[in-house]
Amino acid sequence: MKQLILVFLGGGFGSLARYLLIKIMPHENSTFPWGTLTVNLLGCFLIGFIMGYALRFSVDSRSDLIVFLGIGICGGFTTFSAFAFENYSLFKSENYLVSSIYISASIFFSVIMVYLGFLFEKIIYLRI
């Protein structure tokens, strides 16, 4: 029950952070969904950092910390459903080039961001 509450609270914080970040992103006169891409890339970086920390310190992936941060906050923060809907809308409006760039950039850079999150965690650990 405790972990359900942690996921619920983390998801709420993550969703709020996503909403606020997308609101402050410049979006006027742009058909490209920069806010969602930014949130997804940042979420990938965060999950890389969190899981890198968990692996380094042998934190169980079912621990309260990982459940709250990884599943709750990162799960509420990232926006794959918005990504899918935005691509559907781009396809429907026959904006195939923008959709192709968005899909490619999201996949490629998301994997890179997970790697950078792991790398950043290692750098932080070595300085402590």
Total domains present in the chain: 1
Interval 82-100 mean pLDDT: 93
CA dihedral 44, 115, 38, 103 (to 10 degrees): -90
Containing structural domain, residue 88: 2-127
Mean pLDDT over all residues of the chain?
Answer: 92
Pick the closest to residue 70 from 81, 60, 61, 82 (CA basis). 61
CA dihedral 8, 13, 19, 23 (to 10 degrees): 170
CA dihedral 18, 96, 92, 36 (to 10 degrees): 0
Interval 94-99 mean pLDDT: 96
Interval 74-87 mean pLDDT: 89
